[in-house]
Every structure is written in structure tokens, then in C-alpha cells.
Amino acid sequence: MLSLIWAVAMAADPVAPPPEADSLRRSLSMRHAVPCVELEAGLAEPVPALLWAVSEVQQPPWAGMHAAECLTRGHAAEVQAELVRWVSEPELAGLGRQTLAMIDLVPVEVALPVARAALAGPVADKALETVKTDARPEIRALAVAP
């Protein structure tokens, strides 16, 4: 199942491996996650490198998920289209659920379109729970929007 997630994650637009691909793969493979700040410190271009990892690093299963976590936490505005895609495509429901679990860390201007897409997508059940409890009134309002 997880292999399917990564096989589809970036299928439309393959991402070229970064120069640090081997070291990034090793860092993401560690059983205890390397903090995002440390992980990104060794990357010339963190966003494309982490996008590559989400789509290409299939083993261990947590590697791509941790890369996605770092993107969500630190680069949500830059990867907004990916966040929307992760909550919209059934094959990416694992990434979608993780994204929703961190939506409160995402700036409201990014969180709104992501939450809207999630409410209409395959993770709608989790999205409804998430928007109802968000601290921001703009996000909570989506729970009652028609």
C-alpha cells in the first residue's frame, strides 16, 4: 500500500534526484527521525530535494512521510499545490491524513484551500474533525460552510 502511495505521489511530474540524494535517503531512513532543520541543513535546495524524497524514497515506509512532514512544517506556502493534491487524491490518503494532522502549523492562507480540498476529498472524515477543532475561526467556519 505504501509503495503505491509513493509510486503515485509524483507520477505526473517526476522529480530529478538532488545531488545529496544518497545522504538524504540515509538520513530519512534512520529509525528516529532527524529533525527537519538538521535534515534541510545539508540540502542545497531543500524543497525540490524533499519533494524528490516524497515521491522516490519508498523504503523504509516512514522516509517519504518524514520528508512530507518537513515540507508541511517549513515550506507549506511553497508546496501548497502538493498539500492540496495530498488531501485530494485517494492514492495519497496517507499523506493527506498526515497533512491534516499538521494543518494547525500551516499559515491560514495555505490552510484554507488545503482544508477545503480535504473536505471534498477522500479524507473528508478526518478533515471535518480537524477543521472543527482548529484554533483559527476561518478554518472552523469551513465545518459549517455549505
Ordered mean pLDDT values, 10 residues apiece, the chain (146 residues): 41 74 93 92 94 93 95 98 97 96 97 97 96 96 81
Closest CA to 65 of 104, 36, 23, 103: 36
Half-sphere exposure of 24 (CA within 13 A, CB side): 29
Closest CA to 134 of 85, 101, 109, 110: 101
Beta strands in 50-95 (DSSP E): none
Look at the chain and count its residues.
146
- Residue ranges of the domains in the chain? 1-75, 80-146
pTM of the model: 0.87
pLDDT score for 42: 86
